[in-house]
Amino acid sequence: MEKEKKLTYFFDDMNQILEVTDELVEKYAETIINVKFLQAQVKEALFKPIKPERAMENFVKAIKGEEEIDEGPVKSTKQIIEIYLNEKAPVKEIDTYLWMCGGFTNDYDDEWFEINAKENLNLVLDKASINRMLKQFMINRIS
């Protein structure tokens, strides 16, 4: 069995995934073992910490009913591509390419993906299978 390396990148929209996938297939199809396209709701904003010197001021505003109420963290749908590469793949080059195309990584573990991601798993055989898989992913997303 071949050793494999997994790269997982998040993108803001589907157009980025389309561009990235096309380029990856053109250059690295022979080194790709498998690809997963996923979607997940990701928190974009975080609650701002209250500075200790403003704690009393915020407390007084809360008592008077003048406090600023922040809504919770905003969530947005992120498009995720998970690529499994064989041992001959130029992993660093592919990693750099994904980052330069606007992708970002995160430290989510496999359990997070199982809970939060909608997954479309397919075996990659050639460029046609990747294009067919991506087309089906888009159709599912639209409907």
Q: Which CATH number do you get for residue 131? A: 3.30.70.1950
- Rounded distance, CA 15 to CA 43, Å? 21
- Higher-scoring residue by pLDDT: 93, 69: 93
Instruction: Say how many domains are in the chain.
Output: 1
Residue 12: which pLDDT band, with cuts at 50, 70 and 90?
A: confident
Q: Using 50, 70 and 90 to split pLDDT, how confident is the model at 119? A: low
pLDDT score for 52: 65
Confidence of residue 15 (pLDDT cuts 50, 70, 90): confident
CB 92, CB 2: distance < 8 Å: no
Residue 125 lies in a domain: yes
Asked if the structure places residue 67 within a domain, the reply is no
Residue 86 lies in a domain: yes
- Determine the Cα–Cα distance for residues 96 and 27; give it in Å rounded to an integer: 14
Domain that holds residue 117: 4-44+74-142
Q: Is residue 99 part of a domain?
A: yes
Q: pLDDT band at residue 45, thresholds of 50, 70 and 90?
A: very low
The verdict on residue 78 lying in a domain is yes
Token pair listed for 39: 């979607």
Residues above pLDDT 70, as percent of the chain? 69
Q: For residues 30 and 17, what is the distance between their CA atoms, to the nearest angstrom?
A: 19
Query: Looking at the domain assignment, is residue 135 inside a domain?
Result: yes
The reply to whether 52 falls in a domain is no
pTM given for the model: 0.62
Where would I find the beta strands (DSSP E) of 22-125? 32-43, 75-86, 117-123
d(CA 132, CA 13): 19
Asked if the structure places residue 19 within a domain, the reply is yes
- Residue 88 CA from chain centroid, whole number: 25
